[in-house]
C-alpha cells in the first residue's frame, strides 16, 4: 500500500486550513451562544424609526443621546404638548441620520421638526463600517456603495456584520487590554450597576467631580483642525436635501464642551470652521425646499465646567439638564415663529 508523505508546505497548508476551521467554529459558537447587542439594537432602531411620528425628533450620535432629555423638553411649559423622540446612537454619523429619515419618509412617518446635534469630531471619522455592520439594510448598503464608492469600508463593515470578534473588536480589546468590566454591559453579558457604568447607571442631576487635563483628551481626536471625510459630506448633503424636499425644518445645534476642549480647538479655529461648514450646508440645501424650510445653527458651542461632563465629549445628567433647558429657550421661540409662517401660508 502506498503511504502518504507530507512536505513542509503541506504542513503549512494543513495548519492554515485547521486554523481557519477553528476560527469559523469559534465565530459561529460566539454568535449563537453570546448575546448580540448590535442585533438587538438594530431591531430597536427599526421599530423606533417606524413608530408613530413625533413632532420634534432629536438626532445625532452619543453626544446627542447623553446631551438632551426629551422628557425634559416635553415637560417644559413652552412645549405646548408636543411629542419628542430620540433617534441617536453611539458611534454613528450622518449616514445614520440620512437613512433614518429616508426610511421614515418611505413609510409615511415624518417628523415635523428635526433637532440635529452631532459631535463635530464625527465628520473626520468614517462611521461607515459601523453603519453597515449594525444598522444598514442590503438596499442601504447598495445605495451607499453607489453614492460613495467607499468599497473598502463597506467590505470591512460586511465582515464585521458576520464576525462577532470583528464587530466587537473595540470592546474585546478594552476588556483584554484594560480589564474594563464596563464592557460586559455593552456586550450584554452583565446588567448596569454603579460599579460598571456610573454615567449610565446614575440619573442624579448633580454636579460631577471630574477635572480634565490635557491627558484626558486624545490628540488624534482633539489635536487637529476640523475636517470632513467625503462619505460624511455626501451623507450630510443627502440628509439636508431630503429634509428640504419634504419641507422638514432642521435645527443643527452645537454641543457644549469643557474648557480643555475649547483650548485644544482654539489653535485650529476649529469651532469657526465647523460653524462655517454647517452654515454653508444649510444655506446650500434650504433652496430646495422653499420658504417653509428653516435651517439654523442655534448657537456656538457653550463652554461648561468639567463637573457637567462624563468625559470631554459627553454630558453627565447634571450637564444634560442644563443644556436641555438652554436648548429649549432657543428652540421654542423659533418653532413658534415657524408655526406662524406655516399658518400664513
Which pairs from 156-163 meet CB under 8 Å and 24+ separation?
156/129, 157/128, 157/129, 157/130, 157/131, 157/132, 157/133, 158/132, 158/133, 160/129, 160/130, 160/132, 160/133, 161/132, 161/133, 161/134, 162/27, 163/27
Other C-beta atoms closer than 10 Å to the C-beta of 194 total: 8
Is the pTM of the predicted complex or chain greater than 0.85?
A: no
307 closest CA partner among 215, 205, 166: 205
Query: Which pLDDT value is given to residue 239?
Result: 92
3-class secondary-structure state, position 309: strand
Place of cell 444649510: 282
**How far is it, in rounded angstroms, from Cα 228 to Cα 45?**
26
- Cα gap 55→265, rounded to integer Å: 35
Q: Per residue of the chain (345 residues), give pLDDT as tens.
A: 455 565 666 677 777 788 777 777 777 677 666 777 766 766 777 777 777 678 889 999 888 988 999 888 888 887 777 888 888 887 888 999 999 899 889 888 888 889 999 988 889 888 888 888 878 888 989 999 998 888 888 898 888 887 877 777 777 777 777 776 676 766 776 654 433 333 444 456 667 777 887 777 777 778 788 899 999 999 999 998 888 888 888 888 888 889 888 888 887 888 888 888 888 887 776 555 444 455 666 566 788 998 999 888 889 999 999 999 888 888 888 777 665 443 334
Domains assigned to the chain: 35-344 (3.40.50.1110)
* Residues 225 and 271 sit within 8 Å (Cβ to Cβ): no
d(CA 327, CA 195): 32
Longest CA span, the chain: 96
Sheet with 84-88, edge to edge strand ranges: 84-88, 56-60, 113-116, 250-252, 295-297
Residue 285 near residue 237 (C-beta atoms within 8 A) = yes
Residue pair 275/245 in contact by the 8 Å Cβ criterion:
no
Amino acid at each position: 500500500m502506498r503511504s502518504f508523505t507530507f512536505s513542509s508546505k503541506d504542513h503549512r497548508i494543513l495548519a492554515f486550513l485547521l486554523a481557519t476551521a477553528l476560527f469559523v467554529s469559534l465565530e459561529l459558537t460566539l454568535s449563537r451562544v453570546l448575546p448580540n447587542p448590535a442585533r438587538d439594537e438594530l431591531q430597536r432602531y427599526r421599530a423606533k424609526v417606524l413608530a408613530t411620528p413625533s413632532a420634534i425628533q432629536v438626532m445625532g450620535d452619543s453626544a446627542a443621546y447623553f446631551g438632551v432629555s426629551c422628557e425634559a423638553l416635553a415637560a417644559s411649559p413652552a412645549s405646548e404638548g408636543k411629542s419628542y423622540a430620540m433617534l441617536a446612537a453611539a458611534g454613528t454619523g450622518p449616514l445614520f441620520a440620512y437613512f433614518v429619515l429616508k426610511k421614515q419618509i418611505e413609510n409615511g412617518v415624518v417628523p415635523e421638526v428635526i433637532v440635529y446635534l452631532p459631535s463635530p469630531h464625527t465628520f473626520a471619522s468614517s462611521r461607515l463600517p459601523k453603519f453597515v455592520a449594525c444598522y444598514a439594510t442590503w438596499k442601504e448598503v447598495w445605495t451607499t456603495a453607489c453614492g460613495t464608492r467607499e468599497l473598502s469600508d463597506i467590505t470591512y463593515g460586511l465582515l464585521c456584520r458576520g464576525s462577532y470578534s470583528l464587530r466587537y473588536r473595540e470592546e474585546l480589546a478594552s476588556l483584554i487590554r484594560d480589564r474594563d468590566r464596563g464592557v460586559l454591559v455593552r456586550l450584554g453579558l452583565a446588567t448596569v450597576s454603579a460599579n460598571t457604568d456610573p454615567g449610565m447607571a446614575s440619573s442624579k442631576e448633580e454636579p460631577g467631580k471630574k477635572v480634565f487635563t490635557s491627558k484626558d483628551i486624545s490628540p488624534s481626536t482633539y489635536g487637529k483642525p476640523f475636517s470632513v471625510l467625503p462619505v460624511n459630506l455626501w451623507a450630510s448633503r443627502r440628509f439636508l436635501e431630503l429634509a428640504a424636499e419634504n419641507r422638514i425644518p432642521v435645527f443643527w445645534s452645537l454641543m457644549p464642551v469643557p474648557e480643555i476642549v475649547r483650548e485644544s480647538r482654539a489653535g485650529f479655529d476649529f469651532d469657526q470652521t465647523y460653524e462655517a461648514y454647517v452654515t454653508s450646508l444649510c444655506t446650500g440645501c434650504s433652496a430646495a425646499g422653499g420658504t417653509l424650510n428653516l435651517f439654523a445653527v442655534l448657537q456656538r458651542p457653550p463652554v461648561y465646567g468639567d463637573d457637567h461632563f462624563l468625559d470631554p465629549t459627553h454630558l453627565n445628567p447634571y450637564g444634560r439638564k442644563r443644556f436641555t433647558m438652554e436648548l429649549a429657550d432657543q428652540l421654542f421661540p423659533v418653532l413658534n415663529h415657524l408655526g406662524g409662517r406655516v399658518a400664513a401660508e
